[in-house]
Amino acid sequence: MRFFLLALSMILLPATQPAMADAAKAGTASLDDLFQQLKRSGNENAAGRIARTITDRLGDSGSATVDFLLLKANEAMAESKNDVALDLLDQVIMLDSDFAEGWNRRATLHYKMRNFTKSVADINAVLEREPRHFGALSGLAAIFMATGREESALAVYERVLVIYPMMRDAQRAVGTLADKLTGDGI
């Protein structure tokens, strides 16, 4: 019986590998499809739903341990237990350094703690892993605004709008900054 199962697995394994590769591509393609839908959506509500789906997808590491640590880090951040949150997020990144959202959450925490240099470093790590991460880009623009680098903020907000054209906060920021930088502001 063992020989039969071993032989069967040797026969079926090569047949399942292309299917597994296709499933992996479908997962990636689905995220790509969502970003395309987000880019094409002309309806703010529909775009918001798509953006939330993307955010949910980006927030799923595929590891129960990493997801649990991320949840606990979010709870610690909500309770302003920043040191605890930072320790948890460091663990998330150590366990899965390819997980963009781990870096993004830590960037958010550093921003909250006004550690802008560390936040920017983490945002760069996010964007290396997922260049379309509109949340990380928005955070980068906010840092540029907080540090008086308005031209850089405008450029980043414009980049956000290429990815997520219906993001109202980015639209308003682009309008305000463009007016201010060209001298047309009130």
**And the tokens for 129?**
């892993």
pLDDT digits (tens, 9 = 90+) for 69-116: 999 999 999 999 999 999 999 999 999 999 999 999 999 999 999 999
> Count H helices, E strands: the chain?
9, 0
Q: In sequence order, which ranges of 41-133 are alpha helices (DSSP H)?
A: 44-58, 64-78, 82-95, 100-112, 116-129
Helix, strand, coil percentages, rounded to 5, for the chain: 80, 0, 20
**Burial environment of residue 69 by CB neighbours within 10 A (0 to 12, 13 to 18, 19 or more):** buried
Q: How do residues 5-37 score in pLDDT, each as one tens digit?
A: 334 344 444 444 443 343 343 344 489 999 999
**Considering the domain 36-182, what is its CATH architecture?**
Alpha Horseshoe (1.25)
pTM of the model: 0.81
